[in-house]
Amino acid sequence: MSVVLSVRDVVKTFGAVRAVDGVSFTVRRGTITGLLGRNGAGKTTTIRMITGVFFPDSGSIEWLGSERDARDRIGYLPEERGLYRQMKVKEHLLFLAEIKGCRGAAVGQSAERWLKRFELWDKRDSKIEELSKGNQQKVQLIGTLLHEPDLIILDEPQSGLDPVNMLLVRNLLQELKDEGRTILLSTHMMAEAERMADEIILVHKGKVVLSGALDAVRDSFGKNTLHIDYEGDGAFLQHLPQVKRAMIVNNAAELSLTEGADPQHVLEATLGRLRIRRFELASPSLEEIFIEQVGAETMESIR
Amino acid sequence: MNKMFAVIKREYLQAVRKKMFIFMTLFFPVLMAALFIVPSLLVARGLGGKKVAVIDGTGGLRSSFSHHMEPETPDPEKALSGRKRGEVPQSLDIDYTDAHTQSNLDSAARPFLDRLYLDKDSGNGLDAVLVIPANAFAGSDAKMTYYSRSSADLISMERLGSISNRAIQRQRLSARGIDPGVVDTLTREVTIDSVQLSRSGEKKKGNAANFFVGFIFAGLLIIPSFIYGLETMRGIVQEKSERIVEVLVSSMSPRELLTGKILGIAAVGLTQITVWLTIIAAAGAVGAATAMTAGFDVSQFLRPMVFVYFALFFILGYLTFVCIYAIAGAACNTDKEAQQLVAPLQMVMMVPWFVMFVIITNPDSTFAVALSLAPVYGPLTMFARTLVSEPPVWHVLLSIAVSIVTIMVFFYVTAKVFRVGILSYGKRPTIPELWRWIKLA
């Protein structure tokens, strides 16, 4: 698969802080790439360098496979709403397309198609401020896509969304991917990234600590993680000698086993104490990998 | 370029659709005119009479104080001028008392002073009491006393004072054997007619209406700059606080964005003054005849050059101010912070407006010339000068050049602050921090 964007050794400092410290990665066409990391890890700064808001202090950002102006190839959905409250929906969409160099009847038709699909056509002449938050988010999303960008960059698209809109975004991203679009998804929600991303880039303190295809990354951590769903009090699981680290949430446990530990012993230990509904030896979850990579002290902040 | 045009179009359309714009465009000239015309209408009609008692210790001035004095003929030129707006003619209803037989004037005046606080409508109330001492003709240290409720009632006092003094002088001269008729002839005042001679030798009636027209034009020139400057500032703060700016700056360079915004807003201003000048020209054409009959010639203010200068200096002043507001907007995160930052700057920017009286009365003084060639102050001051005087061409050209350079420098600074400031969401920067931004960007 061809590469759309290549980021090489970019560095950005603010005063004494190295917000981004030699980050390199590539984004391949037709994938969803998750840019993961804690708040303040350097995700947004990296995105801002890609979108051209900041210039990197050093390093390069290279766009490949098209002669289009780099800025016009990006569809950017910022973390918070970025719309003029006073403008009307359709007018605003056309403005967003126009500043990406797209104008004319085709854009109007495209806007109409999107608005109808998102059930906003009736509100095309309403002011943005008259819309509900979810609808504003939809307008923003249409504005991100209207100029048919090569790379769709979404910064925490799920933050502040209700479950219905979250599903809407998820389905849309999947659909866009199926159409062959490329998506860079910045998030700190590992479960969400795990569900959607083909590739991940894990950033911590301005550096890439892990990157690659999601499956490959998970496999590289070996199949020594137990996923157990149960009924009963599973608190004792974390104290078993075979268990190096445990994540226990409600009635599900994810146990990283010590080197050479036999999962069968864990199963035996549960007998008579828990009703097992699922017992699986698999690769660690992204969340588990994330914690291992960036330190257990971050557990609280990602929950 | 197309992107910048998109921004210009958006700024323009959003602004001209606002009710504020429509209101300002249609009613502001009317409002400004009303501000100056209403007082002059009041002047023409007078403010009603005043009742005054005169206690004459000399007993010889009765003939000078007829019982009812009509107001002076309203002088429309004076009336319309800013300077003499307070000079409202009024009729004086004088209650004269010959008190030369009274040994104690104070006690003679007492009952009249008590009437100062009676209701005027009852017929007994008085607005003022003037006491003329018995030694007014001879005494070198003679003093009249004027009693009134309001210490600021200077107009009635001056008028009564001048009537009394003329009467006293006439009496003194008659006492030396000069015929009263001759006295009147000898002491007649000669009025002054002011004529403004233009450089080309054209004679204009340089009259007090300069103030009137000067202030209206100055107001039209400067007030929109403040209003749209504030709008620009709010717009930028809003774009920042709602993160629109991230979408914008990921689509175009900050410089393109800023240029587009400022040009869009400048187009709004131009639209506004085009409408205004049309209104003024139309009203001028209709009103000129009326104004002529009222005694002054409006046409000299409706010279084509005035319109050219107005448009020119309007744009220069406008762009200067808008840049200043844009800096404040880019540097701050909330309207309130930005307001606090520009409040002192606004006072500094308003200086020519505060001293407009001095500029209009002395358009070629060193002060006015210096101000008209200074950055920021140039546009308004130079326009005022071209309106009431005819400054040398090089003054005008230099002022324009200074303004253009100022705008370029401001624009450069604004672009820098904009570049750094639009994406910083911290607290409001201090001036040294702002300076660092300028160097940094």
Top-ranked range on mean pLDDT: pick from A161-165, B99-103, B198-202, B245-249: B245-249
What Rg, from alpha-carbon coordinates, does chain B have?
30
pLDDT of B28 over the 80 cut = no
Q: What's the pLDDT tens digit per position in B211-233? A: 677 777 788 888 888 888 888 88
Distance, CA of B139 to CA of A21 (rounded, Å): 97
Is A78–B7 a contact, with Cβ atoms under 8 angstroms apart?
Answer: no
Judged by average pLDDT, the poorest of A98-112, B175-189, B327-341 is B175-189
In this structure, are residues A27 and A179 in contact, taking their beta carbons and an 8 Å threshold?
no
Q: How confident is the model at residue A112 (pLDDT cuts 50, 70, 90)?
A: very high
- Residue A68 sits at the chain B interface (C-beta within 8 Å): no
pLDDT tens track for B280-324:
777 766 666 555 555 555 555 556 777 788 888 888 888 888 888
State how far the Cα of A162 lies from the Cα of A168, in Å rounded to an integer.
Answer: 10
- pLDDT at position B404 is 92
Strand order in the sheet with A243-249: A243-249, A252-257, A225-231, A275-282
Q: Do A51 and B249 touch (CB under 8 A)?
A: yes
Say if strands A252-257 and A225-231 run parallel, antiparallel, or are unpaired. Answer: antiparallel
Residues 6+ apart with CB under 8 A from A126: A88, A89
**CB A123, CB A136: distance < 8 Å:** no
Q: Are strands B203-204 and B196-197 parallel, antiparallel or unpaired?
A: antiparallel
**Maximum C-alpha span of chain A:** 71
Most confident listed range (A132-146, B36-50, B71-85): A132-146
DSSP state of A145: H
Q: What is the mean pLDDT of residues A150-177?
A: 82
- Mean pLDDT is highest, among A234-243, A289-298, B150-159, for A234-243
- Residue burial B237-269, b: 16+ Cβ < 10 Å; e: rest: bbbbebbbbbbbbbbbebbbbbbbbbbbbbbbb
Rounded CA-CA distance A93/A76 in Å is 13
Q: What is the largest CA-CA distance in chain B?
A: 96
pLDDT of residue B354: 84
Asked if A98 and B249 come within 8 Å (Cβ–Cβ), the reply is no
| From B7, B244, B250, residue closest to A74, measured CB to CB | B250
| Residue from the list B6, B239, B423 with its beta carbon closest to the beta carbon of A98 | B6
A15: nearest CA partner in chain B: B440
Nearest to B252 among A48, A71, A76 (CB): A71
How is residue B153 written in tokens? 């009632």
Distance CA B308, CA B374 (A): 21
Per-residue pLDDT at B8: 92
Is the dihedral angle over the CA atoms B392, B397, B399, B402 positive or is it negative?
negative
pTM score: 0.70
The span from the CA of A48 to the CA of B23, in Å, is 41
* Residue B316 burial class via C-beta count within 10 angstroms: exposed 0-12, middle 13-18, buried 19 and up: buried
By the CB < 8 Å criterion, does A19 face chain B? no
Q: Is B326:B421 a contact under the CB 8 Å cutoff?
A: no
- What 3-state DSSP class applies to A241? coil
Per mean pLDDT, which of A291-300, B46-55, B143-152 is the most reliable? B143-152
Quote the mean pLDDT of chain B.
76
CA B374 to chain centre: 21
Chain A closest-CA separation from residue B326 CA (Å) = 18
For residue A67, give both structure tokens: 């002669």
State the pLDDT confidence band at B74, using cuts at 50, 70 and 90. very low
**Interior angle at CA A167, CA A161 and CA A168, nearest 5:** 85
Rounded to an integer, the average pLDDT of A93-97 is: 92
**Bridge-partner residues for B118, per DSSP?**
none
Q: Which helix (H) or strand (E) holds A6?
A: strand A3-14
Does the beta-carbon distance from A48 to B246 stay under 8 Å?
A: yes
Question: For the CA atoms of B112, B117, B123, B128, what is the dihedral angle to 10 degrees?
Answer: 60
* Segment B250-257 mean pLDDT: 84
Dist. CA B43–CA B209, nearest whole Å: 14
Q: Do B379 and B403 touch, CB atoms closer than 8 A?
A: yes
Nearby residues of B303 by Cβ (< 8 Å), 6 or more positions away: none
Question: What letter does residue A127 receive in the DSSP assignment?
Answer: B
Distance CA B9, CA B261 (A): 9
DSSP run (H or E) holding A269:
helix A263-270
Return the pLDDT at B402.
92
What digits encode the pLDDT tens for the residues B339-375? 888 888 888 888 888 888 888 878 888 888 888 888 8
In this predicted structure, the answer to whether residue A273 has a pLDDT above a threshold of 80 is yes
What span, in angstroms and rounded, lies between the C-alpha atoms of B242 and A84?
8
Q: What is the CB neighbour count within 10 angstroms for residue B302?
A: 18
A289 in Cβ contact with A193 (< 8 Å): no
Residue B209: predicted pLDDT = 59
CA separation for the pair B126, B119 (Å, rounded) = 8
Pairing of strands A182-187, A151-155: parallel
Lowest mean pLDDT of A18-22, A65-69, A110-114, B51-55, name the range.
A65-69
Spell out which residues of chain B touch residue A78, defining contact as CB-CB under 8 Å. 243, 246-247
Q: Å from B240 to nearest chain A CA? A: 9
The residue among A78, A285, A272 whose CA lies nearest residue A191 is: A285
Q: How far off is chain B from A102, nearest CA to CA, in Å?
A: 9
The three-state DSSP-derived secondary structure of chain B is CHHHHHHHHHHHHHHHCCHHHHHHHHHHHHHHHHHHHHHHHHHHHCCCCEEEEEEECCCCCHHHCCCEECCCCCCHHHHHCCCCCCCCCCCEEEEEEECCCCCCHHHHHHHHHHHHHCCHHHCCCCCEEEEECHHHCCCCCCCCEEEECCCCCHHHHHHHHHHHHHHHHHHHHHHCCCCHHHHHHHCCCCCCCCCEECCCCCEECCCCHHHHHHHHHHHHHHHHHHHHHHHHHHHHHHHHHCCHHHHHHCCCCHHHHHHHHHHHHHHHHHHHHHHHHHHHHHHHHHHHHHHHHCCCCHHHHHCHHHHHHHHHHHHHHHHHHHHHHHHHHHHCCCHHHHHHHHHHHHHHHCHHHHCHHHHHHCCCCHHHHHHHHCCCCHHHHHHHHHHHCCCCHHHHHHHHHHHHHHHHHHHHHHHHHHHHHCCCCCCCCCHHHHHHHHHHC
- Does the pLDDT of residue A195 top 60, yes or no? yes
Q: Which two tokens stand for residue A165?
A: 């809109």
Q: Exposed/middle/buried for A295, CB within 10 Å: 0-12, 13-18, 19+?
A: exposed
Residues of chain B contacting A98 with CB distance shorter than 8 Å = 2-3, 6
Q: Which of A81, A66, A211, A94 is nearest to A151 (CA)?
A: A66
Instruction: Count CB atoms within 10 A of the CB of residue B67.
Output: 9
How far, in Å, CA of B310 to CA of B288, rounded? 20
What is the torsional sign of CA B324, B327, B331, B333? positive
User: A86: which chain B residues are within 8 Å (Cβ-Cβ)?
Assistant: 14
Reported as a pLDDT band with limits 50, 70 and 90, residue B41 is low
Burial of B160 (0-12, 13-18, 19+ CB in 10 A): buried
User: Quick one: which H or E segment has residue A268?
Assistant: helix A263-270
**Residues of B with Cβ-Cβ distance to A82 under 8 angstroms:** 242-247
CA–CA separation, B371 and B369 (whole Å): 5
| Helix/strand/coil for A113 | helix
Which residues in B lie closer than 8 A to residue A99 (C-beta atoms)? 3, 6-7, 248, 251-252
